[in-house]
């Protein structure tokens, strides 16, 4: 009895300690991290629902029915954003905190999966001390939710709980298109276990059917946003040219994320080492899932995001390594594992601490952009300027291309009062975010605007112009 109490106390201390480390690597740094256009646009529908009673994406107003409805992204993560914004208000911190919470739930499923497989602490520890996982848990995007649901579906499939496995797979699909890999992964489990239960199909179909029933009421708007706009955005960035282009994008991604990927080298070595060991059914399942997810992303998913790989490749790669190490322990293997944990843990802390910038100059922004203004600018401006309307400057270019209009025609339709520009939006872009021609844009600024000043915002300068 005393041994059982001692074991339970040790387990509780390990879980509390691991949770504290995870929180220390995420929460304190949310204030300092710059926020991106995507993060704000994924939060706008929930904010609009709270404030205005509709589920629109404000910064895309002027394109189809975006001002009132949002169909261009899968709905689950967008709907969940209601809770942090309702509780904490509309702020950069609130937009990111949901990912931290979901990441903690993912670690709980990692612990449950590890416990099922005999490694209850090693597997969640390898996630907690991985710089890619920590980064994923600090950005207001839906990939962390995809990862969480993928782990949940895998856990229930391994336990032969087919109905919850189906529901989790369906919810992953309702979070992001790469949720499709969650379905494929569960089928790998079924195939290796030589079974399939139709309760999985029931769990898979019901949430999807429920969500699609809402789309049927406005199928035309759904088609415009989900197919026409998304295809346009991918085409504009040259992402729809087939597997060869996807492979090139992967190579570009490896170069951009070079430092963080180098930290995964010890894990990769251990993964390859594990491939040389004797394999059981579980090993085969994890190898197949890792390979399917990796090759699927490289060859078939148009992306330049390390987030996708962190969400659906990293968890299964680390799980395979954790199992291999637990079954074939040796001093060199343990040493390499410790090096991996230590280097990733240190880099996670350093990367988090490096996200530091001067606070936004709200006084200067409010002086340059009065309340009630209609502004063309970075969508992120809509968070501090909640009394104005901020339409993303990229809407001008999108309307020019989608509706075959000139810049002057688009501006006349949008009727902005001010233009807030960051240099990166007009130069150094493979796809210019405001107009097709930089010279045309400069000529417009000279003829149609009056320079008002600049302010420090989200880690960079923005330049404000008033339209004549």
State mean pLDDT over 96-116. 97
Q: Do 128 and 230 sit in the same domain of this protein?
A: yes
Q: Are residues 413 and 282 in the same domain?
A: no
Mean pLDDT of 14-26: 90
Give per-residue pLDDT as tens, 165-208: 999 999 999 999 999 999 999 999 999 988 888 999 999 999 99
Q: Which of 391 and 423 is assigned the larger pLDDT?
A: 391
Rounded CA gap, 88 and 109, in Å? Answer: 26
Whether residues 310 and 389 fall in one domain = no
Q: How far is CA 180 from the centre of its chain?
A: 16
Look at residue 122 and tell me whether its pLDDT is greater than 80: yes
Q: Looking at the structure, do residues 214 and 244 belong to the same domain, yes or no?
A: yes
Place of tokens 């993303």: 392
**What pLDDT does residue 443 have?**
86
Instruction: Answer yes or no: do 338 and 387 share one domain.
Output: no
DSSP-assigned beta bridge partners for residue 466 = 418, 450
Q: What is the pTM of this model?
A: 0.94
Total domain count, the chain = 2
Distances (CA, A) of 447 to 185, 291, 408, 417: 57, 56, 12, 15
For residues 54 and 187, membership in a common domain is answered with yes
> Are 397 and 427 spatial neighbours (Cβ–Cβ below 8 Å)?
no
Contact 54, 385 (CB under 8 A): no
For residues 391 and 350, membership in a common domain is answered with no
Q: What is the domain range of residue 164?
A: 2-354
Q: Do 77 and 144 contact (CB within 8 A), yes or no?
A: no
The reported pLDDT for the residue numbered 2 is: 52
Report how far apart the first and last C-alpha atoms of the chain are (Å, whole number). Answer: 81
**Greater model confidence, 243 or 104:** 104
- Strands 374-377, 389-392: pairing is parallel
C-alpha–C-alpha distance, residues 65 and 214, integer Å? 15
Average pLDDT over residues 99-121: 96
Sheet of strand 389-392: strand arrangement = 389-392, 374-377, 418-421, 460-467, 449-457
- Angstrom distance (rounded) from CA 260 to CA 306: 10
Residues 58 and 131 in one domain: yes
Whole-number pLDDT of residue 50:
97
How far apart CA 429 and CA 167 sit, in angstroms, is: 41
Last residue of a domain, one of 329, 354, 379: 354
CA–CA dist 5, 188 (Å, integer) = 39
CB-count burial class (<10 Å; 0-12, 13-18, 19+) for 6: exposed
- DSSP letter (8 states) at residue 380: G
Instruction: Say whether both 325 and 449 belong to one domain.
Output: no
Structure confidence at residue 355 (pLDDT): 61
pLDDT score, position 218: 92
Rg for the chain (alpha carbons), in Å? 24
Examine the fold and report which residue of 295, 328, 354 is the final residue of a domain before the chain moves on.
354
pLDDT over 80 at 427, yes or no? no
3-state secondary structure 60-114: HCCCCCCCCCCCCCCHHHHHHCHHHHHHHCCCHHHHHHHHHHHHHHHHHHHHHHH
User: How much is the pLDDT for 8?
Assistant: 77
CA dist 85 and 321 (Å) reads 38
**pLDDT, tens digit (0-9, with 9 covering 90-100), for 336-364:** 989 888 888 888 777 666 666 677 788 88
Rounded to whole angstroms, how far apart are CA atoms 216 and 437? 39
Whether residues 209 and 146 fall in one domain: yes
Could you report the per-residue pLDDT of 260-288, keeping only the tens digit for each?
888 899 999 999 999 999 889 999 999 99
Residues 203 and 91 in one domain: yes
Where does 147-285 show beta strands of DSSP type E? none
Domain boundary among 332, 354, 376: 354
Segment 50-77 mean pLDDT? 96
My answer on whether 165 and 216 are in the same domain is yes
**Secondary structure of residue 392 in the 3-state scheme:** strand
Q: What's the average model confidence in pLDDT over 451-456?
A: 94
User: In the predicted model, is pLDDT for residue 428 greater than 60?
Assistant: no
């Amino acid at each position: 009895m005393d041994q059982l109490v001692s074991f339970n106390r040790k387990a509780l201390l390990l879980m509390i300690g691991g949770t504290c480390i995870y929180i220390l690597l995420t929460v304190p740094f949310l204030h300092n991290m710059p926020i991106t256009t995507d993060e704000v646009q994924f939060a706008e529908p929930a904010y609009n629902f709270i404030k205005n009673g509709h589920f629109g994406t404000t910064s895309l107003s002027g394109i189809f029915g975006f001002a009132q409805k949002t169909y261009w992204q899968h709905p689950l993560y967008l709907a969940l954003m209601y809770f942090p914004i309702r509780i904490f208000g509309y702020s950069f911190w609130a937009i990111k905190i949901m990912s931290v919470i979901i990441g903690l739930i993912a670690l709980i499923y990692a612990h449950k999966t590890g416990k099922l497989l005999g490694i209850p602490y090693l597997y969640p520890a390898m996630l907690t001390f991985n710089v890619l996982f920590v980064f994923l848990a600090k950005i207001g995007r839906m990939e962390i939710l995809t990862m969480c649901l993928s782990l949940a579906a895998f856990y229930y499939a391994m336990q032969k709980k087919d109905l919850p496995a189906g529901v989790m797979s369906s919810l992953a699909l309702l979070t992001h298109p790469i949720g499709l890999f969650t379905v494929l992964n569960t089928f790998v489990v079924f195939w290796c276990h030589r079974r399939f239960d139709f309760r999985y199909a029931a769990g898979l179909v019901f949430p999807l059917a429920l969500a699609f029933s809402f789309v049927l009421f406005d199928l035309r708007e759904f088609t415009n946003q989900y197919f026409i706009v998304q295809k346009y955005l991918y085409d504009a960035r040259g992402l729809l040219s087939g597997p060869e282009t996807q492979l090139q994008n992967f190579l570009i991604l490896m170069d951009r994320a070079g430092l963080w990927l180098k930290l995964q080298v010890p894990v990769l070595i251990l993964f390859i080492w594990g491939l040389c060991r004797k394999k059981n059914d579980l090993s085969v399942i994890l190898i197949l899932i890792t390979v399917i997810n990796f090759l699927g992303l490289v060859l078939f998913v148009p992306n330049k995001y390390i987030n996708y790989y962190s969400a659906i490749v990293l968890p299964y790669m680390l799980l395979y390594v954790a199992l291999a190490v637990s079954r074939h322990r040796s001093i060199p293997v343990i040493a390499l594992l410790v090096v991996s944990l230590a280097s990733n843990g240190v880099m996670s802390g350093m990367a988090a601490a490096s996200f530091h910038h001067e606070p936004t100059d709200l006084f200067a922004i409010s002086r340059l952009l009065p309340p009630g203004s209609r502004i063309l600018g970075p969508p992120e401006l809509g968070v501090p300027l909640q009394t104005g309307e901020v339409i993303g400057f990229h809407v001008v270019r999108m309307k020019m291309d989608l509706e075959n209009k000139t810049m002057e025609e688009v501006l006349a339709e949008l009727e902005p009062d001010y233009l807030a520009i960051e240099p990166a939006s007009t130069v150094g872009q493979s796809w210019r975010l405001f107009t097709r021609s930089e010279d045309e844009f400069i000529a417009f600024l000279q003829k149609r605007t009056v320079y008002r000043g600049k302010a420090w915002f989200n880690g960079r300068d923005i330049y404000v112009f008033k339209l004549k």
